[in-house]
Amino acid sequence: MLVFGICRAESQSNNLLTAKIHLNNGKEIVCNVLNIDKNEIKIQRKIFGGAIANEFYKFDKIKKIDLVKPAILTNNLKLTTGSIRKTKAKAKKAYNLYKPFAKLHGKTWSAETAWIYAKLLENSENYSSALKIYNRLAKNKLHPGFKNKTLLRRAVCLYELGSVSNALPLFTQAYELAETSDQHAEINFYLGKIYAQLGDYKKSLFTLLKNEVFYSMRDDWEVKSLDAALFSYAKLNRQKEFVNTCRRITNKFSGTIYSRKAKAYLKQVEGGKPLHELTKD
């Protein structure tokens, strides 16, 4: 049953969330959202005579709700550049604002704001918080596409949190579903790191070096993979390949942290330091 109260006001708050509610009886209401809880929504709308009505609607009376699209989804946001702190604050605000609508049908933007906020958390190395949101998205029955979309991101977060055994099957699934070269390159890098941690150094090298052969133009996954390959070369005591890889890094990626690291390794090897001494850390 509809419950409402009428209040006189010259203007409505600019902070209210604009919505269009589609009721089961076919009625449509353009309004501002005042509050939402577990089973009902409180709205504010203009009625006859310019009065403002505050009304409550149970979720089971609502077919769907369309909300105004948040600005953070319309700014062509680059997640890895600019002031990530400011961008993350805006994303968090949007996420908290739209999150209560996650169980409702319609254009609620809850999944989209959750996705972008989780990616910003991940880029800030807050893997634990990012993983919680990715897991929540993966279980959202109204947005089944996010189950696969979050696979790679959940795998990365699990790996960075030290849960290698749980990350491995997700990376494997993500590789089979990957649609871009960038995704394949990222997965190769992490799988190569995991295989090395599990002691399968040859498999690690085979996986990592795919990024040099097939995905050398994909962001910085090539140099990251070459850097990671040094560990397995050292473990296998393959000094020639170790030295050649260091030289490739210093020649092709001069001025990077990877180049400085490779130069330091070369200096130590030329000074007679055995490879197994370089892998202690």
Quote the distance between the C-alpha of residue 222 and its chain's center: 21
Same domain, 59 and 132: no
Same domain, 54 and 95: no
Instruction: Report d(CA 41, CA 33) in Å as an integer.
Output: 7
Same domain, 174 and 239: yes
pLDDT, one tens digit per residue, over 111-156 is 999 999 999 999 999 999 999 999 999 999 999 999 999 999 999 9
Tell me which residue of 6, 111, 97, 81 sits closest to 50, measured CA to CA: 6
| Mean of pLDDT over the chain | 89
State yes or no: pLDDT of 167 exceeds 80.
yes
pLDDT for position 208:
97
Q: Write the CB contacts of 153 (distance below 8 Å, at least 6 apart in sequence).
A: 118, 119, 122, 130, 134
Q: Which domain holds residue 51?
A: 3-67
Burial class of residue 113 in the structure, from the number of CB atoms within 10 Å of its CB (0-12 exposed, 13-18 middle, 19+ buried): buried
Instruction: Report d(CA 185, CA 178) in Å as an integer.
Output: 10
Same domain, 100 and 53: no
State yes or no: pLDDT of 105 exceeds 90.
yes
More confident residue, 204 or 87: 204
Share of the chain above pLDDT 90, in %: 77
What does the pLDDT average to over 250-265? 94
pLDDT for position 51:
87
Share of the chain above pLDDT 70, in %: 90
Same domain, 28 and 82: no
Same domain, 107 and 15: no
pLDDT for position 13:
40
Same domain, 216 and 121: yes
Tell me which residue of 144, 222, 241, 151 sits closest to 182, measured CA to CA: 222
For tokens 């990626």, what's the residue?
Answer: 253
Same domain, 39 and 84: no
Q: Could you give the number of structural domains in the chain?
A: 2
Q: Return the CATH number at 45.
A: 2.30.30
> Of 67, 89, 112, which one is at a domain's C-terminal end?
67
> From the CB of residue 213, how many other CB atoms can be counted at a distance below 10 Å?
8
Assigned token pair, 56: 């409550």
Give the three-class secondary structure for 4. Answer: strand
Assigned token pair, 18: 């604009």
State yes or no: pLDDT of 35 exceeds 60.
yes
Same domain, 157 and 29: no
Same domain, 61 and 84: no
What does the pLDDT average to over 214-229? 88
Sign of torsion, CA 235 237 241 243?
A: positive
Lowest mean pLDDT segment, chosen from 67-71, 102-106, 113-117, 215-219: 215-219
State yes or no: pLDDT of 267 exceeds 50.
yes
Same domain, 25 and 145: no
Assigned token pair, 281: 């850390």
Largest Cα span, the chain:
90
> Of 32, 67, 102, which one is at a domain's C-terminal end?
67
Lowest mean pLDDT segment, chosen from 3-17, 36-50, 175-189, 236-250: 3-17
What order do you get walking across the sheet with 17-23 strand by strand?
3-7, 52-58, 40-46, 28-36, 17-23, 62-67
Same domain, 234 and 145: yes
Of the pLDDT bands very low, low, confident and very high (cuts 50, 70, 90), residue 80 is very low
Q: Return the CATH number at 228.
A: 1.25.40.10
Give the three-class secondary structure for 105. Answer: coil
pTM: 0.86
> Of 43, 67, 91, which one is at a domain's C-terminal end?
67
pLDDT for position 3:
37
pLDDT for position 11:
32
